[in-house]
């Protein structure tokens, strides 16, 4: 798996290089406390090695929570575990703040769109597909499944291997909020 992204049946998936992404964060492991207020969610499965670096959090509106729930539903549909949902939501928090972004004009990074800022020109799908939360999540998860050992990787390493971002360490800052969202909504 190289800088060019992941290649597999169905097209070439090279994730976006987001110019708007935040700079890298410190990668020191921290202790973690997942707010698992729903029965049946194993906090150890959400963040198996603790978070890395300083954590960011944002207040989510109803649309953003709905997008997090859509990511969780697609993860379940794909038959993947809670950890895949944490990685997916953390990635989307970095790429779009869980907003299903259309074309941003001059602020757009090439032709990046949707929750994961995927690019039609890189083989992620059509603009209509990429801006469909279920499709874009399934495309991300298809790429994640191709990453050997993703289940045991820090979120930022797994996300970067799929997305190929210009700021590979920036995903780490969203792991706690992503885990909290999965803990809150996995069984809802």
Residue 167 lies in a domain: yes
Residue 11 lies in a domain: no
Query: Is pLDDT of 27 > 60?
Result: no
> What integer pLDDT is reported at residue 105 of this predicted model?
52
Count of domains forming the chain? 1
> What integer pLDDT is reported at residue 72 of this predicted model?
98
Residue 28 lies in a domain: no
Residue 3 lies in a domain: no
Residue 1 lies in a domain: no
> What integer pLDDT is reported at residue 167 of this predicted model?
84
Question: Taking CA 103 as the corner, what is the angle to CA 100 and CA 108, rounded to the nearest 5 degrees?
Answer: 105
Q: How confident is the model at residue 103 (pLDDT cuts 50, 70, 90)?
A: low
- Structure tokens given for 185: 């909504």
Query: Is pLDDT of 85 > 90?
Result: yes
Range(s) of the domain holding residue 81: 55-101+137-186
CA-wise closest residue to 139 among 150, 129, 152: 129
Q: How confident is the model at residue 29 (pLDDT cuts 50, 70, 90)?
A: very low
> What integer pLDDT is reported at residue 38 of this predicted model?
47
Residue 45 lies in a domain: no
> What integer pLDDT is reported at residue 121 of this predicted model?
85
Give the CA dihedral 124, 4, 17, 122, nearest 10 degrees. Answer: -30
What kind and span of H or E run contains 77? helix 62-77
Its pTM surpasses 0.75: yes
Tokens 């090695």, residue?
49
Residue 17 lies in a domain: no
Q: How confident is the model at residue 118 (pLDDT cuts 50, 70, 90)?
A: very high
> What integer pLDDT is reported at residue 23 of this predicted model?
38
Residue 120 lies in a domain: no
Tens of pLDDT, residue by residue over 142-181, are 999 999 999 989 999 999 999 988 888 899 999 999 999 9
């Amino acid at each position: 798996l190289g800088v060019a992204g992941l290649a597999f049946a169905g097209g070439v998936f090279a994730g976006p290089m987001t110019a708007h992404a935040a700079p890298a964060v410190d990668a020191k492991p921290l202790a973690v406390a997942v707010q698992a207020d729903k029965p049946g969610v194993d906090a150890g499965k959400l963040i198996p090695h603790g978070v890395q670096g300083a954590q960011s959090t944002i207040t989510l509106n109803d649309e953003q929570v709905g997008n997090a729930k859509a990511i969780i539903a697609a993860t379940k549909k794909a038959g993947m575990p809670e950890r895949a949902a944490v990685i997916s939501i953390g990635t989307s928090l970095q790429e779009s703040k869980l907003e299903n972004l259309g074309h941003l004009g001059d602020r757009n990074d090439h032709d990046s769109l949707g929750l994961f800022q995927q690019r039609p020109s890189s083989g992620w799908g059509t603009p209509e597909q990429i801006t469909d939360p279920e499709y874009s999540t399934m495309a991300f998860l298809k790429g994640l499944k191709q990453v050997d050992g993703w289940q045991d990787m820090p979120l930022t390493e797994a996300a970067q291997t799929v997305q190929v971002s210009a700021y590979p360490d920036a995903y780490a800052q969203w792991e706690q909020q992503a885990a909290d969202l999965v803990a809150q909504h996995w069984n809802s």
